[in-house]
């Protein structure tokens, strides 16, 4: 993380011609408060109503059995979950590409990649292992 | 090393000692890196949950002849629980807005509401766990239930920690007011609280809703 301070002139090239302005802008950028643009009452309420909607629909779909086919239902509620996570990230966690010079977004993208590898990898590998182990398990049972 | 020894005395053109790194510490205002650091923590916490989700994904259908998700999950209860967490998220949001406006008493009120909703969430979850264990569907019954209790329990433990943190900060604000350090801490807890809500979206979708579909 020290990297982002090592070359301040690169990050603030537009101020490089004026040392005073440069120093000021840099100090200001680094201030922690800039990370969270806090949003407004309106944006919080918007996020809240979107979340309520995105929560209520999948619960309603599963509880009433609106979808005949379980795999269609699973895909739809997963889509709603992804949408709701994005809503929370934007309206509640105030994620954007600019905060902390983009490092929060970088960390998030890296984490998402790891999460996808962990989840899909584990389920994929273990599913195949279970399938292949089945005859042996059946032989043990006999 | 060789480039140093080529220069006879280790001095540059101006006669200053050569340096290959920044000798002077860059100036950091206090707490300037807290937000980024806390975000890194949240991301690594996210990986803990990813691993627990993966374990549940792998073991979630190993019932060992025991109860299946459809038989034991009560979706209305989960829906109420989800509502509690959502309400606590919006009240925390309002607390942050009041903090920005410098209205300490109103902020404390919103924080108290947040804590109350968090406590409701924990009570409902505890009731659910107690009922399951009473019905003989405890964590020792099957691999499905072990992974279920680990995943949902870890989330519940996080909410418990968040609640303790919330109460601590309310006392801090009462004692010292809305000083910069307290604002920073409240912002960290804000991220933590909303992050737990994000994890809960994964829990109710993958564990409860998809479990009830099977």
Residue A137 — very low, low, confident or very high, per pLDDT cuts 50/70/90? low
Choose between A32 and A85: higher pLDDT: A85
Name the nearest CA neighbour of A103 among A23, A44, A35: A35
Residue B154 has pLDDT above 60, yes or no: yes
pLDDT at A136: 56
CB atoms B43 and A5 under 8 Å: no
Sign of CA pseudo-dihedral B80, A39, A26, A31: negative
* B156 to chain A, closest Cα gap in Å: 19
The percent of residues above 70 in pLDDT, for chain A, comes to 68
Partner A contacted by B86 (CB < 8 A): yes
Q: Which two tokens stand for residue B48?
A: 């803990």
Give chain A positions within 8 Å (CB) of B39: 35, 100, 104, 107
pLDDT at A55: 96
Q: How many CB pairs under 8 A join A and B?
A: 142
Give CB contacts under 8 A, 24+ apart, made by A96-102: A96/A37, A99/A34, A99/A35, A99/A36, A99/A37, A100/A35, A100/B35, A100/B36, A100/B39, A101/A4, A101/A11, A101/A29
Give chain B positions within 8 Å (CB) of A72: none
What are φ and ψ of residue A76, in 5° steps? Answer: -65, -45
Q: What is the DSSP letter of B12?
A: -
> Please, which residues 33-52 of chain B have a Cβ atom closer than 8 Å to chain A?
33-36, 39-40, 43, 46-47, 50-51
Decide: residue A13, CB within 10 A, 0-12 exposed, 13-18 middle, 19+ buried.
exposed
pTM of the predicted protein model: 0.81
* Best to test chain B binding among A4, A40, A57, A59 (most B CBs inside 10 Å): A59
* B137 to chain A, closest Cα gap in Å: 22
- Establish how many alpha carbons lie within 13 A of residue B158's alpha carbon, considering only the half-sphere containing its beta carbon: 23
Task: Please state which of the ranges B1-5, B7-11, B86-90, B98-102 shows the lowest mean pLDDT.
Answer: B1-5
Distance CA B69, CA A4 (A): 48
CB atoms A104 and B39 under 8 Å: yes
Sequence-distant (6+) residues with CB within 8 A of A65 are none
CB atoms B213 and A73 under 8 Å: yes
Decide: residue B40, CB within 10 A, 0-12 exposed, 13-18 middle, 19+ buried.
middle
Q: Where are the alpha helices (DSSP H) in A7-141?
A: 8-11, 19-30, 41-64, 70-91, 103-141
Residue A54 — left, alpha, or beta (φ > 0 → left; ψ -120 to 50 → alpha)?
Answer: alpha
Decide: residue A138, CB within 10 A, 0-12 exposed, 13-18 middle, 19+ buried.
exposed
Q: Whole-number mean pLDDT of chain B? A: 91
Instruction: Select from A62, A93, A119 the Cβ nearest to the Cβ of B50.
Output: A119
CB atoms within 10 A of CB A128: 10
Sequence-distant (6+) residues with CB within 8 A of A84 are A50, A51, A54, A55, B201
Residue B17 — very low, low, confident or very high, per pLDDT cuts 50/70/90? confident
Distance CA B92, CA B87 (A): 9
Residue A37 — very low, low, confident or very high, per pLDDT cuts 50/70/90? low
CB atoms B205 and A51 under 8 Å: no
**DSSP-derived 3-state class of residue B214:** coil
* A116 to chain B, closest Cα gap in Å: 9
Q: Which two tokens stand for residue B138?
A: 């405890």
Choose between B191 and A24: higher pLDDT: B191
> ipTM above 0.90?
no
* A132 to chain B, closest Cα gap in Å: 15
Q: Where are the alpha helices (DSSP H) in B7-103?
A: 34-59, 69-72, 75-101
Distance CA A50, CA A29 (A): 32
Cβ-contact B170, B112 below 8 angstroms: yes
Choose between A52 and A101: higher pLDDT: A52
């Amino acid at each position: 993380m020290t990297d982002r301070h090592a070359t301040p002139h690169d990050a603030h090239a537009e101020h490089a011609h004026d040392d005073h302005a440069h120093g000021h802008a840099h100090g200001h950028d680094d201030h922690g408060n800039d990370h969270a643009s806090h949003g407004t009452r309106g944006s919080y309420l918007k996020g809240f109503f979107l979340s309520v909607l995105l929560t209520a629909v999948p619960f309603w779909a599963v509880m009433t059995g609106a979808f005949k086919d379980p795999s269609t239902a699973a895909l739809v509620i997963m889509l709603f979950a992804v949408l709701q996570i994005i809503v929370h990230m934007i309206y509640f966690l105030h994620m954007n590409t600019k905060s902390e010079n983009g490092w929060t977004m970088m960390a998030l993208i890296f984490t998402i990649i790891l999460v996808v590898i962990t989840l899909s990898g584990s389920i994929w590998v273990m599913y195949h292992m279970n399938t292949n182990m089945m005859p042996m398990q059946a032989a043990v049972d006999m | 090393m060789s480039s140093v020894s080529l220069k006879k005395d280790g001095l540059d053109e101006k006669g200053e000692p050569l340096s290959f790194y920044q000798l002077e510490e860059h100036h950091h205002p206090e707490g300037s890196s807290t937000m980024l650091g806390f975000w890194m923590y949240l991301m690594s916490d996210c990986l803990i949950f990813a691993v627990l989700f993966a374990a549940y994904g792998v073991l979630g259908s190993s019932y060992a002849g025991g109860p299946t998700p459809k038989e034991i999950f009560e979706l209305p209860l989960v829906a109420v629980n989800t509502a509690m967490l959502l309400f606590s998220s919006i009240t925390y949001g309002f607390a942050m807005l009041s903090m920005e406006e410098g209205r300490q008493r109103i902020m404390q009120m919103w924080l108290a509401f947040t804590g109350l909703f968090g406590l409701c969430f924990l009570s409902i979850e505890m009731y659910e766990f107690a009922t399951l264990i009473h019905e003989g569907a405890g964590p020792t019954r099957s691999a499905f239930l072990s992974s279920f209790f680990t995943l949902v329990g870890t989330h519940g433990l996080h909410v418990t920690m968040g609640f303790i943190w919330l109460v601590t900060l309310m006392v801090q604000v009462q004692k010292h007011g809305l000083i910069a350090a307290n604002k920073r801490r409240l912002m960290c807890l804000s991220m933590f609280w909303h992050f737990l809500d994000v994890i809960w979206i994964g829990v109710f979708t993958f564990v409860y809703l998809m479990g009830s579909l099977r």
